[in-house]
């Protein structure tokens, strides 16, 4: 709302039974300053009279100005509040749910009340609603006074003073969640706030300490996290609670709560607070429930103008910069092509060197591993009978596999078993007699003796 009030005079009025106080400011583009609402009036003050009479006294001293916006806060005792917890759901559905159940939550007929619904969309996985309502005839007395003095078109909203305090605390960065005890006249109210949300509110007569203790405890039981974050707003003498030392419930915490002096002097300051923060707008009148905290469409025209000016400013130099960058790009492209021609021979040499390095590694690996292999080959060729030859040779880990042709397969095995280089020699598979060549075809498996075999091994076919 505050963005719609630039250049406007904003008047907050708190009409208590004992006195009526006011606080007036004007919102500029960069700051808010206090101003007098009328000739002979300070920017803030109060009247000796309260209620309707005190409100008439202030309004008659103020010149009618259609540009002025007036926020009217009334004592919480004029309103009724029902704290409703619903399952998590969209805000619109929560509002419809409350509207459809007004006869349950209100002790007065629907046609005799003004109401509004303050919604907390997500709190402990629930949707919380504070259903506020009051008698029409009570509010209409104050609205008639605005109408009588000519200020009815300036009246923005009518609400409990607690709602204004919720907005004031948000503007002043109070730690949340917070419990606030309001003491005015003979009445006390205890409310719970969470950021821009008003979660709960109970009232009682200050003289009734037992009822006050019950109300206080009921709220603390719902919101135990506020017990170390309590505040007081005093507009009357401080209420004293006789704390029973044998009672372990920490009622004494409220006695030690921090007093909000800025509001204790003049509660009308809280009446203007909803105009300057993101909070659901509440007004108990004939208007429908208002849900929008922020209306982005308000900023579209301004942002469009800013963007247009920015684009106009940068477009003037953009064309020259593009041409300059294109020229640099062409020069760079030419240089790159020339450099590429010089690099190509070097890249070919690098490829050759990489291949040479790979061959060198293979040669080193060969020299490191193959001497043992030749020892085994020499041993096999020394021991096998004359005329024996091999069609395939496999060497892997500690095993040599041979596909052999020999006149005597058993003699070949016996001879190889004499070698200390082999721990086991055996024929794998059948022995096939090739009659035309008088040769026997068979496969041999030789397990190397670990004492003569290194850790590294290779594998691959070798035709013999």
Residue 234 has pLDDT above 70, yes or no: yes
Complete DSSP assignment for 46-96: E-SS-HHHHHHHHHHHSPP-TT-EEEEEE-GGGSEEEEEEEES--HHHHHH
Q: In this structure, what token pair is assigned to residue 91?
A: 């805000």
DSSP for residue 418: T
Residue pLDDT, tens place only, 119-176: 998 888 899 999 999 999 999 999 999 999 999 999 999 999 999 999 998 888 788 8
Residue 456 has pLDDT above 50, yes or no: no
Residue 427 has pLDDT above 70, yes or no: yes
Higher pLDDT, 301 or 397: 397
- With CA atoms as reference, report the closest residue to 78 among 34, 14, 29: 14
Residue pLDDT, tens place only, 245-261: 444 445 556 667 888 88
* 0.75 exceeded by pTM: no
| Share of residues in the chain with pLDDT > 70 (%) | 88
Higher pLDDT, 217 or 247: 217
Task: List, in sequence order, the alpha helices (H) in 90-225.
Answer: 91-99, 102-105, 136-149, 161-171, 209-222
Residue pLDDT, tens place only, 14-51: 999 888 999 999 988 778 899 999 888 899 999 988 89
Instruction: Please name each of the domains of the chain with its CATH number.
Output: 2-295 (3.30.420.380), 370-452 (3.30.1360.100)
- Which pLDDT score, from 0 to 100, does residue 459 have? 40
Q: How far is CA 355 from the centre of its chain?
A: 55
């Amino acid at each position: 709302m505050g963005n719609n009030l630039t250049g406007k005079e904003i008047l907050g009025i708190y009409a208590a039974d004992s006195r009526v106080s006011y606080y007036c400011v004007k919102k500029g583009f960069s700051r808010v300053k206090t101003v007098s609402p009328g000739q002979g009036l300070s920017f803030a003050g109060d009247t000796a009279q309260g209620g309707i009479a005190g409100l008439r006294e202030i309004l008659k001293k103020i010149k009618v100005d259609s540009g002025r916006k007036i926020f009217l806060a009334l004592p919480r005792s004029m309103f009724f509040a029902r704290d409703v917890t619903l399952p998590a759901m969209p805000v619109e559905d929560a509002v419809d749910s409350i509207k459809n159940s007004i006869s349950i939550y209100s002790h007065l007929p629907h046609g005799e009340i003004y109401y509004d619904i303050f919604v907390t969309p997500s709190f402990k996985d629930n949707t919380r609603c504070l259903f506020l309502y009051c008698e029409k005839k009570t509010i209409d007395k104050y609205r008639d006074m605005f109408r009588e003095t000519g200020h009815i078109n300036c009246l923005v909203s009518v609400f409990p003073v607690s709602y204004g305090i919720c907005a004031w605390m948000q503007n002043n960065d109070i730690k949340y969640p917070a419990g606030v005890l309001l003491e005015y006249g003979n009445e006390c109210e205890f409310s719970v706030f969470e950021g821009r949300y008003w979660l709960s509110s109970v009232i009682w007569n200050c003289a009734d300490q037992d009822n006050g203790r019950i109300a206080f405890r009921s709220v603390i039981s719902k919101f135990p996290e506020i017990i170390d974050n309590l505040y007081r707003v005093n507009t009357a003498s401080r209420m004293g609670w006789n704390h029973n030392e044998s009672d372990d419930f920490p009622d004494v915490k409220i006695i030690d709560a921090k007093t909000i002096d800025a509001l204790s002097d003049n509660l009308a300051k809280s009446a203007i607070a909803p105009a300057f923060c993101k909070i659901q707008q509440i007004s108990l009148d004939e208007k429908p429930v208002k849900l929008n905290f922020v209306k982005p469409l308000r900023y579209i025209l301004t942002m469009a103008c800013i963007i247009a000016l920015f684009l106009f400013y940068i477009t003037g130099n953009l064309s020259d910069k593009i041409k300059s960058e294109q020229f640099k790009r062409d020069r760079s492209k030419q240089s790159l092509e020339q450099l590429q021609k010089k690099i190509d021979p070097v890249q070919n040499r690098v490829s050759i060197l990489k291949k040479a390095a790979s061959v060198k590694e293979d040669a080193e690996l060969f020299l490191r591993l193959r001497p043992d292999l030749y020892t085994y080959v020499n041993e096999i060729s020394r021991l096998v009978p004359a005329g024996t030859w091999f069609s395939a040779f496999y060497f892997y880990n500690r095993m040599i596999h041979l596909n052999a042709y020999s006149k005597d397969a058993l003699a070949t095995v016996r001879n190889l078993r004499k070698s200390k280089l082999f721990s086991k020699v055996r024929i794998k598979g059948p022995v096939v007699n090739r009659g035309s060549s008088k040769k026997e075809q068979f496969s041999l498996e030789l397990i190397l003796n670990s004492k003569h075999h290194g850790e590294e091994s290779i594998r691959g076919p070798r035709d013999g």
